[in-house]
Amino acid sequence: MTVTAAVVGASGYAGVELFRLLVGHPEVKLVGAYDIRNVGKRVSEVHPNLRGIVDLKIAEPDYVKIGKQTDVIFVATPHRVAMKFVPKLLKGKARIIDLSADYRFDDVKVYEQYYTKHESPGVKGVYGLPELYRAKIKRAHLVANPGCYPTAAILSVAPLVKRHLINIEHIVIDAKTGTSGAGAVPGELTHHPIIDANILAYAATTHRHAPEIDQELSKLAGRNVETHFTPHLIPIVRGILSTAHVFLRKPTGARGLLGLYRKFYAGEPFVRVLEELPQVNFVVGSNYCDIGFELDARSNRLVVVAAIDNLIKGASGQAIQDMNLMFGFDETRGLEAPALRP
Amino acid sequence: MTVTAAVVGASGYAGVELFRLLVGHPEVKLVGAYDIRNVGKRVSEVHPNLRGIVDLKIAEPDYVKIGKQTDVIFVATPHRVAMKFVPKLLKGKARIIDLSADYRFDDVKVYEQYYTKHESPGVKGVYGLPELYRAKIKRAHLVANPGCYPTAAILSVAPLVKRHLINIEHIVIDAKTGTSGAGAVPGELTHHPIIDANILAYAATTHRHAPEIDQELSKLAGRNVETHFTPHLIPIVRGILSTAHVFLRKPTGARGLLGLYRKFYAGEPFVRVLEELPQVNFVVGSNYCDIGFELDARSNRLVVVAAIDNLIKGASGQAIQDMNLMFGFDETRGLEAPALRP
Amino acid sequence: MTVTAAVVGASGYAGVELFRLLVGHPEVKLVGAYDIRNVGKRVSEVHPNLRGIVDLKIAEPDYVKIGKQTDVIFVATPHRVAMKFVPKLLKGKARIIDLSADYRFDDVKVYEQYYTKHESPGVKGVYGLPELYRAKIKRAHLVANPGCYPTAAILSVAPLVKRHLINIEHIVIDAKTGTSGAGAVPGELTHHPIIDANILAYAATTHRHAPEIDQELSKLAGRNVETHFTPHLIPIVRGILSTAHVFLRKPTGARGLLGLYRKFYAGEPFVRVLEELPQVNFVVGSNYCDIGFELDARSNRLVVVAAIDNLIKGASGQAIQDMNLMFGFDETRGLEAPALRP
Amino acid sequence: MTVTAAVVGASGYAGVELFRLLVGHPEVKLVGAYDIRNVGKRVSEVHPNLRGIVDLKIAEPDYVKIGKQTDVIFVATPHRVAMKFVPKLLKGKARIIDLSADYRFDDVKVYEQYYTKHESPGVKGVYGLPELYRAKIKRAHLVANPGCYPTAAILSVAPLVKRHLINIEHIVIDAKTGTSGAGAVPGELTHHPIIDANILAYAATTHRHAPEIDQELSKLAGRNVETHFTPHLIPIVRGILSTAHVFLRKPTGARGLLGLYRKFYAGEPFVRVLEELPQVNFVVGSNYCDIGFELDARSNRLVVVAAIDNLIKGASGQAIQDMNLMFGFDETRGLEAPALRP
């Protein structure tokens, strides 16, 4: 079976990454590239790495029409934009995977507090983290692909939270992202002379990925969890390293914790539980989330580190993993590439 | 048909890149990883990007034996080492692709001038640049995979040299490489605090890739060509940008030159002739060589720029392209991945 | 008045930085460069940025002799080495500033737990953080210059700890350093192909700067403080960003906290309290420590960020600040250079 | 004697660098910061590295007035802008150092070919390269500070051109610059995700610094010289490495060439002639131009490499060197800082 796929939001980094991965997916026929920018240009003019590979022309979308004609549509437009047209897409047969935040929140009030007034609050998506919601994703018509930071942060502490092993008042998540997370539009903070030899914290207590992390950990815990999330920008292009500092409720050995993680993620094709701390170097270019930890038995602090490629497991790769689930393909199809390092 | 493949020299960057590409090649079964370093470790311990992907154990090679048992052997050992054991490998059925310089020279004296005394001077390889030697590569038992700089430099000016369009006394090739070209062993010049904000020329008139470039351009020209080659080290990991400054023998229009390049490389799966100057950004992670030029009609100078990933088209990818030719596979098999950018 | 100064440990990064700063100090005459490596070479051969500027020859030290002849000696040798010869230096008139950890600990047992058996446990240094120990430093014969991470970490939370405003059970310090912190000797983790696009946590619960931070914060608090310290290596050359995640014991407004910091550091020439989060970009090349914070009033978490140049305020610049105090010079003498950005 | 100095063009990278250097210059009182952007802000708000150091407010300039009141005015506005107001500045007593290209050309037609119609073609500046025009600079009222590439390129080959030692038809200059050369305004090519792992040639045959190089080399040669200049952008912030590939007219030994360079630059405070190839690493942060070469005796090709900090010797440092000459200060005053490396 071959499914037809289209991308709305062809100009950005999530878009180019979707094209790059979809063109190598044996079960997919890429049939449309849509955007309101760069209309009439070829995908390969906007993204020259795809020269000779994806030469589709970018068109302005007729949402209802493409919703009717396409099997799966990836929405890679900015936050606040998807909600304007996803209901139109859903009128057709297309199953939708939205990479923005617009349908990630169970409670639309949380969305509205961090983003803007929601224009289609009645439409609900399934949170597209396969490790937590595999069964629901398979049946979903609308998948809300998780944010990059939440993917790493949630996976890093999910086993601990689910098993009530840690003090949920003091979950500190100190995350570091590469500059591709800021998107394709040049700005002050991603100007090379500014960031190349720099590091900075931003939105240190107010980042909009925090409520997304809290929503999912709260469901795992069965009670309200408020993590303490602080992101940093560092001078790498791809990759997130998410360092969780958590406190065990009672002394637990490293061996037991390793067993817990291995069991929790047993059979997961894209989570690798390591016996050492992960590095982004070994996941960039792949869909893997590597997780490792170090225990300070003296203070019962556990440092759990997760590494992902923010554009793959943190965005477009995870979207394709979701698509594989939705259409019954092997979950790893099109996502087999190992990390590209050095 | 599936061929069995082994890699001798499993610890270095050419080695890890071979594993990464071979494991995704549908016609190949990876059966051996050999080295004198790291014996007993798994490939994935040495190269953690391959965790769960290539978990073969590294063994010390019995050359005669593996030569008998394996269909194709990639030799990714340092220069001066391959020549010690390639004759043993060749006693078996295995077809050999050597990524070192040991069998690249038609005239062993040139090799000995730039490297060391040759220990198997009677063994001859086919120079593994498919764009020039496709037919010979198909039949070869021993392929000498080209150097990284020569791949970019030769491809950038081959059409001009072959057609006698340029002054062959003044071919200046000013090349720039990323640090992975220096290999996996830490050293002074690749120490991050030294190179991260630095650029330098090295072996400015004496680099051993110069005679390799000259050998191939001389054969194309039908007369002796001595290029002026100067390499630089820049703070990127992967990628070579090779800038050729050449002088046309008589005025020629840009359109005619573009036509010449397109014709010369017509049908080549991995050479993209651009109407603009290439960037390493758009080839890194892929087997492409992008070529573009700019003509200064006033002075008849032509600046021809070629960009490759030094570890793929400049090493392991090209080796697999050669293997595909040798075994009758589609030439692009296992090498379809587009560049990974941003 | 001019003082004569010598550096023991001329080959490393703290050494070159001492030379660079001392040569521009109007009250100092640089009279000696000592090391057991590179003996006989000029400083400018080992550190070519100093060509024509510091052409002193490196000699093997006769400790007793130089201790007698020199006014101030900077010890920039590795940990575990200084303690072997500092007692000899102290036999003379020289006042000593040791940049290693050997004399930083009040309790030699702590040193021995994290480093090695101490060979001169009876010798005591003054902890050379001027913001806490200015008066003692002025009179000291032996100053133990603080570690790079402790400088940033201690300064970032000292006002809070001193005033008992935060929960001292849950002080998480997540720090990030550039690669120059690893020193001048090439190694695996600072090999450019490995680290250039990478980030990693290391010694996540066991770093030997942790007890140094704890010692100083405990003295400020008047009770035992055990912080939770995790360092990371990022691909910049210079700079530390230290992010402290702390929990207020009772609700406090941002304005009050800003006032507290400003008062605590009033008159300090090298601490800048900002109304925004600092970036390493704006301190690298200078002796400044920039401090800023963000308050999450909802959860009473405070994120306090400090930025320093690890080789200046985190090492050699602070050593010269100490020297200025010891010899009665203007504290900022020789340290006036602003950060060099972009 | 103290001179009063002002900067017009306070917001850009040449501006911040002028402030940084002027504030440390013992003979200068910084009295004005002017721009049409950021009016009313403090310099240190725009350039946070200068917090507490240069807190002057940026004002809109009244050119006639400041020309009358200030001893020296540095013009750090973009090309095409300076020519609009420099004539007004010159009505007063102020001596002017213009860092733009507007007054660099002897022949206004050349300017107009590469830039735009000149609005004050009758005003003439002295080309501010001290190594060639020291005497004229001392007397100049208007100095046209050289471009960054021309500074490195001209100094690298001046001795050879002046002595007619090389073939002037085939002077290839392949230069590489850091991203600060592109200025403070974010753009596509300096967007971190695009350039961080990239290198590219741009304006490969048409860069507007080419005619500036040619003008100066022609005057040195006493006949028309047209060099072949190609710039590249590389992922470092500061620094230019300029590689000249030239062909000797007759065989000359390396020793003789070294002697020639040393004699030509004897007594020059900021040119260091090396016996090895220079690296930007050892000049960044300083006003030095390091020059070294390698001779290929076989082909009579000489590779001459020059390294500068593009913002210091290539812009603001050289401007201050010119000011020192104009006002009779020690030429190195305020420019003594060694390079900051690692």
> What residues of B are in contact with residue D190 (Cβ under 8 Å)?
none
Q: What is the full per-residue pLDDT of chain A (342 aa) written as tens digits?
A: 799 999 999 999 999 999 999 999 999 999 999 999 999 999 999 999 999 999 999 999 999 999 999 999 999 999 999 999 999 999 999 999 999 999 999 999 999 999 999 999 999 999 999 999 999 999 999 999 999 999 999 999 999 999 999 999 999 999 999 999 999 999 999 999 999 999 999 999 999 999 999 999 999 999 999 999 999 999 999 999 999 999 999 999 999 999 999 999 999 999 999 999 999 999 999 999 999 999 999 899 999 999 999 999 999 999 999 999 999 999 999 999 999 989
Coil vs helix vs strand at A213: helix
Q: How do residues D186-241 score in pLDDT, each as one tens digit?
A: 999 999 999 999 999 999 999 999 999 999 999 999 999 999 999 999 999 999 99
Contact C288, C308 (CB under 8 A): yes
CA distance, residue A138 to nearest chain C CA (Å): 34
CA distance, residue D16 to nearest chain A CA (Å): 13
CA distance, residue B92 to nearest chain A CA (Å): 32
Torsion angle (degrees, nearest 10) of CA D226, D228, D233, D238: -50
> What residues of C are in contact with residue B187 (Cβ under 8 Å)?
186
Contacts of C140 (CB under 8 A, 6+ apart): C95, C125, C126, C128, C322, C326
D214 touches chain C (CB under 8 A): no
* Bridge partners for A59 per DSSP: A34
Q: How many residues does chain B have?
A: 342
Which of D16, D49, D281 is the mutation pick for testing C, counting most C CBs within 10 A?
D49
- Interface list for D 99-158 with B (CB within 8 A): none
A235 touches chain B (CB under 8 A): no
The chain D residue lying nearest B203, using CA atoms, is D294
Beta D228-233 vs D172-177: how paired, if at all?
Answer: parallel
Q: What is the DSSP string of B93-155?
A: S-EEEE-SSTT--SSHHHHHHHS---S-TT---EE--HHHHHHHHHH-SEEEPPPHHHHHHHH
Of D184, D187, D237, the CB nearest to A196: D237
> What residues of C are in contact with residue A193 (Cβ under 8 Å)?
342
What CATH class does A149-309 carry?
A: alpha beta
D185 touches chain C (CB under 8 A): no
Confidence of residue C1 (pLDDT cuts 50, 70, 90): confident
B184 touches chain A (CB under 8 A): yes
> What residues of A are in contact with residue B336 (Cβ under 8 Å)?
24
Whole-number Å distance between alpha carbons of C25 and C334: 4
Residue type (1 letter), B37 = R
Whole-number Å distance between alpha carbons of D128 and D134: 8
Query: Which tokens belong to B216?
Result: 């191939």
Whole-number Å distance between alpha carbons of A148 and A136: 20
Would you give the DSSP letter of residue A315? Answer: I
Torsion angle (degrees, nearest 10) of CA C111, C112, C115, C119: 100
CA distance, residue D299 to nearest chain C CA (Å): 30
Query: D105 exposed, middle or buried (CB, 10 Å; 0-12, 13-18, 19+)?
Result: buried
Q: Do B192 and C188 touch (CB under 8 A)?
A: no
CATH code of D3-124, in short, is 3.40.50.720
Contacts of C191 (CB under 8 A, 6+ apart): B184, B186, B190, B191, B192
Q: What is the full per-residue pLDDT of chain D (342 aa) written as tens digits?
A: 799 999 999 999 999 999 999 999 999 999 999 999 999 999 999 999 999 999 999 999 999 999 999 999 999 999 999 999 999 999 999 999 999 999 999 999 999 999 999 999 999 999 999 999 999 999 999 999 999 999 999 999 999 999 999 999 999 999 999 999 999 999 999 999 999 999 999 999 999 999 999 999 999 999 999 999 999 999 999 999 999 999 999 999 999 999 999 999 999 999 999 999 999 999 999 999 999 999 999 899 999 999 999 999 999 999 999 999 999 999 999 999 999 989
Q: What is the pTM of this model?
A: 0.97
Cβ atoms within 10 Å, residue B188? 10
Q: Do C237 and B196 touch (CB under 8 A)?
A: yes
Q: How do residues B253-294 score in pLDDT, each as one tens digit?
A: 999 999 999 999 999 999 999 999 999 999 999 999 999 999
A3 touches chain B (CB under 8 A): no
Sign of the CA dihedral running C272, C274, C278, C283: negative
Q: What is the DSSP string of A228-243?
A: EEEEEE-S-SS-EEEE
Query: Which tokens belong to B231?
Result: 């390499």
Of the listed B16, B148, B160, B225, which one is catalytic?
Answer: B148
* B208, pLDDT greater than 80: yes
In chain A, domain spans: 3-124, 149-309
Q: Give me the interface pTM, i.e. the ipTM.
A: 0.96
Where do runs of H (alpha helix) occur along chain A? Answer: 13-22, 43-46, 63-69, 82-89, 108-114, 130-139, 148-162, 192-195, 210-221, 254-264, 317-326
Q: How do residues C248-276 score in pLDDT, each as one tens digit?
A: 999 999 999 999 999 999 999 999 999 99
Whole-number Å distance between alpha carbons of A34 and A52: 19
CA distance, residue A342 to nearest chain D CA (Å): 12
Of C49, C184, C282, the CB nearest to D282: C49
Whole-number Å distance between alpha carbons of A291 and A305: 6
> What residues of C are in contact with residue B180 (Cβ under 8 Å)?
193
Q: Do A205 and C303 touch (CB under 8 A)?
A: yes
> What residues of D are in contact with residue C52 (Cβ under 8 Å)?
272
B310 touches chain C (CB under 8 A): no
Would you give the DSSP letter of residue A330? Answer: -
> What residues of D are in contact with residue A195 (Cβ under 8 Å)?
192
Q: Do C190 and B192 touch (CB under 8 A)?
A: yes
Where do runs of H (alpha helix) occur along C275-314? Answer: none
A52 touches chain B (CB under 8 A): yes
Where do runs of H (alpha helix) occur along chain B? Answer: 13-22, 43-46, 63-69, 82-89, 108-114, 130-139, 148-162, 192-195, 210-221, 254-264, 317-326
Of A188, A193, A237, the CB nearest to D193: A237
Confidence of residue B1 (pLDDT cuts 50, 70, 90): confident
Query: Which positions of C are catalytic?
Result: 148
B196 touches chain C (CB under 8 A): yes
CA distance, residue A55 to nearest chain D CA (Å): 21
Which of B172, B227, B282, B294 is the mutation pick for testing D, counting most D CBs within 10 A?
B172
Contacts of C256 (CB under 8 A, 6+ apart): none
Q: Do C191 and B195 touch (CB under 8 A)?
A: no
C207 touches chain A (CB under 8 A): no
- Interface list for B 159-178 with C (CB within 8 A): 178
Instruction: Give the angle B100-B103-B104 at the CA atoms, nearest 5°.
Output: 85
B246 touches chain D (CB under 8 A): no
> What residues of C are in contact with residue D287 (Cβ under 8 Å)?
none
CA distance, residue A115 to nearest chain B CA (Å): 27
B269 touches chain A (CB under 8 A): no
pLDDT at A341: 82
Name residue, tokens 């950060």.
C339
Q: How many CB pairs under 8 A join C and D?
A: 75
Q: How many residues does chain D have?
A: 342
Select from C145, C123, C126 the least CA-distant residue to C136. C126
Secondary structure tally for chain B: helices H, strands E: 11, 14
Would you give the DSSP letter of residue C313? Answer: I
pLDDT at A231: 98
> What residues of D are in contact with residue B341 (Cβ under 8 Å)?
197
User: Same CATH fold, D149-310 and D3-124?
Assistant: no
Q: How do residues C197-247 score in pLDDT, each as one tens digit?
A: 999 999 999 999 999 999 999 999 999 999 999 999 999 999 999 999 999
Which of the other chains make 3 or more beta carbon contacts under 8 angstroms with chain A?
B, C, D
Would you give the DSSP letter of residue A337? Answer: P
Query: Which tokens belong to D234?
Result: 């590389």
Q: Do D239 and B198 touch (CB under 8 A)?
A: yes
Q: What is the DSSP string of C182-245?
A: G-SS--STTBHHHHTT--EE-STTT-TTHHHHHHHHHHHHTS----EEEEEE-S-SS-EEEEEE
CA distance, residue B178 to nearest chain A CA (Å): 11
Query: A2 exposed, middle or buried (CB, 10 Å; 0-12, 13-18, 19+)?
Result: exposed
- Considering just the CA atoms, what is the radius of gyration of chain A in Å? 20
Beta D301-308 vs D289-296: how paired, if at all?
Answer: antiparallel
What CATH class does B149-310 carry?
A: alpha beta
**Average pLDDT in chain D:** 97
Beta-sheet strand order (sheet of B240-247): B200-201, B228-233, B172-177, B240-247, B301-308, B289-296, B271-273
| Residue B240, CA atoms < 13 Å, CB-side half-sphere | 35
**Average pLDDT in chain C:** 97
Query: Which tokens belong to A293?
Result: 């930890």
